[in-house]
């Protein structure tokens, strides 16, 4: 499916956007990536921010094979976006996108994986991640230190204890790794039946230690209905500044 992407740049950056989910927590008939704010869908906001990366080789978008919405969007005709079938889980969608790039991406090309439901990512945050990981042997992710008190909860929501939050960070996306290493680690983890919640966890399962790069607290992931209004306010503020 989709367009065939090509790039002649040296070690370019490719973006992968897994967007095959249905977002049940949003309590909406539409998958959350197609909910609208400020005149566009979440997915359009996210893709436009990625397409603005100066040396981006292309975007691989993983969608549900039965997705009826994508072709209705203006970006569906963008030659820099290729579409592949997504999987039942995020990790499967990312692996399908990596498989698609097998004949196009070089081993040392950068792969930037970003959530479709994080429309507030900024160019400066992406630039910071790329700058900090440029010479790192593994790669890294954006995140923010945990600021709230954490409670461990048992049956019937009874609080068991308070967790020490020192050294704990909340993982975000983008997550940035070299093509061959990410492909190998993710395929191995899924082949062994491991639970892979993000790309960094696949690297960790293989014994690698990705870098944590401090991002921004406004790089929110829209997961609940109330997040839409917050994302809209953030986008408005970002556009004004």
In the chain, where are the structural domains located?
A: 13-142+171-240
Tell which CATH architecture fits domain 13-142+171-240: Alpha-Beta Complex (3.90)
For 36-51, what is the mean pLDDT? Answer: 96
For 24-29, what is the mean pLDDT? Answer: 63
Give the separation between CA 33 and CA 51, rounded to whole angstroms: 17
Q: Which residue has the higher pLDDT, 197 or 4?
A: 197
Give the separation between CA 183 and CA 107, rounded to whole angstroms: 9
Mean pLDDT of the chain: 93
Under DSSP, the state recorded for 24 is G
Span 152-182, pLDDT tens digits: 999 999 999 999 999 999 999 999 999 999 9
For 51-66, what is the mean pLDDT? Answer: 96
pLDDT beyond 50 at 127: yes
Listed residue (141, 197, 146) closest to 170, CA to CA: 146
Which helix (H) or strand (E) segment holds residue 129: the answer is helix 123-133
pLDDT beyond 70 at 26: no
Using alpha carbons only, give the angle 123, 101, 93 rounded to the nearest 5 degrees: 75
- Integer CA distances (angstroms), 71 to 2, 97, 100, in order: 11, 19, 20
- pTM value is 0.93
Buried b (16+ CB within 10 A) or exposed e, 101-122: beebbeeebbbbbbbbbbbbbe
């Amino acid at each position: 499916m989709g367009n065939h992407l090509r790039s002649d740049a040296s070690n370019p950056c490719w973006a992968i956007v897994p967007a095959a989910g249905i977002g049940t927590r949003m309590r909406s008939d539409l998958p959350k990536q197609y909910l609208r704010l400020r005149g566009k869908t979440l997915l359009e906001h996210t893709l436009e921010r990625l397409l603005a990366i100066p040396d981006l080789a292309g975007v691989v978008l993983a969608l549900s094979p039965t997705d009826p919405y994508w072709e209705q969007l203006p970006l569906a005709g963008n030659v820099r976006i290729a579409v592949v079938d997504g999987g039942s889980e995020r990790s499967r969608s990312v692996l399908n996108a990596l498989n698609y790039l097998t004949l196009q991406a070089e081993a040392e090309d950068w792969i930037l994986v970003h959530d479709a439901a994080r429309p507030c990512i900024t160019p400066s945050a992406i630039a910071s991640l790329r700058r900090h990981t440029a010479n790192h042997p593994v790669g890294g992710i954006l995140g923010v230190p945990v600021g709230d008190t954490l409670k461990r909860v048992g049956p019937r929501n009874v609080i068991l204890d308070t967790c020490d939050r020192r050294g704990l960070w909340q993982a975000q996306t983008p997550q940035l790794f070299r093509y061959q290493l990410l492909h190998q680690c993710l395929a191995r983890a899924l082949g062994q039946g491991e639970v892979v919640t993000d790309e960094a966890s696949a690297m960790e399962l293989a014994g690698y230690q990705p870098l944590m790069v401090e991002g921004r607290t406004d790089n929110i992931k829209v997961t609940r209905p109330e997040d839409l209004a917050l994302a809209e306010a953030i986008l408005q503020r970002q556009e004004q500044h």
